[in-house]
């Protein structure tokens, strides 16, 4: 006999739940790559101090002949609008507001 919480079922959860890791004050969520999409990797979401950073690899084409692109998404959920953002990409620093 299997014991399940009230309301639980054997059906898969849609959308699938991420794997969640707590690292000091940060939460890291790992979402599996979705089948039949342009996902070329799992998606990683890092949340710390009101900032969320998502990153994953995205396939440019369905046949996989080109190198996947790096996709990065930033979201400001805990700071006033217009907060300064410094992005450094391979030594090329830029200032933004978000």
Each domain of the chain, given as residue ranges in start order, spans 19-97
Q: What is the mean pLDDT of residues 3-15?
A: 57
Q: 25-61, pLDDT tens digit by residue?
A: 999 999 998 878 888 999 999 999 989 999 999 987 6
- CA distances to 48, 49, 75, 86 from 78, in Å: 9, 7, 9, 17
* DSSP type of residue 46: E
> What pLDDT score was predicted for residue 29?
94
**Chain Cα centroid distance, residue 71:** 10
Give yes or no for a cis peptide into 15 (omega within 30° of 0): yes
Q: Is the pTM of this model over 0.75?
A: no
């Amino acid at each position: 006999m299997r014991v399940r919480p009230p309301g639980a079922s054997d059906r898969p959860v849609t959308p699938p739940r991420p794997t969640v890791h707590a690292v000091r004050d940060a939460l890291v969520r790992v979402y599996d790559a979705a089948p039949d999409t342009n996902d070329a990797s799992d998606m990683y979401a890092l949340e710390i101090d009101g900032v969320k950073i998502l990153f994953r690899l995205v396939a440019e084409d369905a046949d996989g002949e080109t190198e996947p692109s790096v996709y990065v998404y930033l979201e400001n959920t805990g700071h006033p609008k217009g907060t300064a953002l410094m992005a450094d990409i391979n030594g090329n620093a830029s200032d933004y507001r978000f």
